[in-house]
Amino acid sequence: MSIYKHTYRAYTGKVTPIRARILAIARYGLAEAWSAKFTTVLFVICLVPLVGFLFTIYLSNNPAARLLMGNAGSRVLIIDGSFFLKVLTTQSWMAMALASWIAPRLITLDLVDNALPILLSHPISRFGYVLGKYVALFATLSTVTWVPCLLLFAYQGYISPVPWAASNVRIAFGMLTGAVIWIALISLLGLALSSWVKWRIVATGVIFAAILVPAGVGAIVTGVLRTRWGFLLNLPVMMSSLWDRLLGVQGHMDHLTQLPTAAIVTMLALTCCLSIVMLNARIRAREVVRG
């Protein structure tokens, strides 16, 4: 009989807190998302409108430029809540395009490659896994939404010859809140839909469809039944109404729909809940092999 000395020693050292592991998943996700060149191209495209907005702020605060443009300049170059609503709306839809490209890269590849059993055999829960991916997507979308929006606000406050920022803090707060609600929603929706679609490109289409198809149905309901409640299926309209209110702007959209804020918030919360249910059903380590 052979007698072997049991020399194996398991690791008993210190381990990092759970948040560090979630950040490792997020870093993993970011690497995955940015490994495609198209992500960089799309990101640059998302930043292009900001150059225009920046130039507009510069012109509006430049006396020579205003003088040259005459009466038209004073109409076009007003920097107020409406201007920043345009900035927020533009950047939010840019973020939507970016999310529909990145979200499938974060989730679909893991599911197709059967990566979940190996990832979830680490001391990280399904919630931790989704949170890590969510952080990666949220961080990326932040760089094209509320971060540049607030930078533009700060630039306007800095360049304005009269004290401007202090009297328009509501705009900054509205942009931050509006952008955070939007990217939180599309990140969750993007991950949830991606987890149910096997092909990345199809997943990108499905994310757009999930927003545009119910909007169309909502428009039909509104038209046929002559009720404003059909707009509750229309995410773009709901978000526009919400942004109007957050920035204190009486927008054209808000005048049309007049949806109660509570109804909008409830619908957004329901969309988030539905996304969580979808993720819960799909993000599992189960690995069933049938031959």
Q: Which residues bind another protein (CB under 8 A)?
A: 4, 6-11, 13-16, 20-21, 24-25, 27-28, 31-32, 35, 109, 113-115, 117-125, 284-291
Residues sharing a CB contact under 8 Å with residue 16, sequence separation 6 or more, in sequence order:
none
Taking alpha carbons only, the member of 197, 155, 129 closest to residue 60 is 155
Report the nearest approach of another protein to the CB of residue 273 (Å): 24
Report the C-alpha gap between 31 and 156 in whole angstroms.
34
Q: What is the DSSP string of 44-84?
A: HHHHHHHHHHHHHHHHHT-HHHHHHHHHHHHHHT--SHHHH
Taking alpha carbons only, the member of 215, 207, 213, 201 closest to residue 189 is 207
Report the nearest approach of another protein to the CB of residue 290 (Å): 5
CB-nearer residue toward another protein: 10 or 67: 10
CB-nearer residue toward another protein: 17 or 63: 17
Report the nearest approach of another protein to the CB of residue 120 (Å): 6
CB-nearer residue toward another protein: 109 or 273: 109
CB-nearer residue toward another protein: 13 or 70: 13
Backbone angles phi, psi at 234, to 5 degrees: -105, 95
Q: Which residue has the tokens 């509501």?
A: 170
Report the nearest approach of another protein to the CB of residue 133 (Å): 12
Q: Where are the beta strands (DSSP E) in the chain?
A: none
CB-nearer residue toward another protein: 34 or 155: 34
Report the nearest approach of another protein to the CB of residue 189 (Å): 24
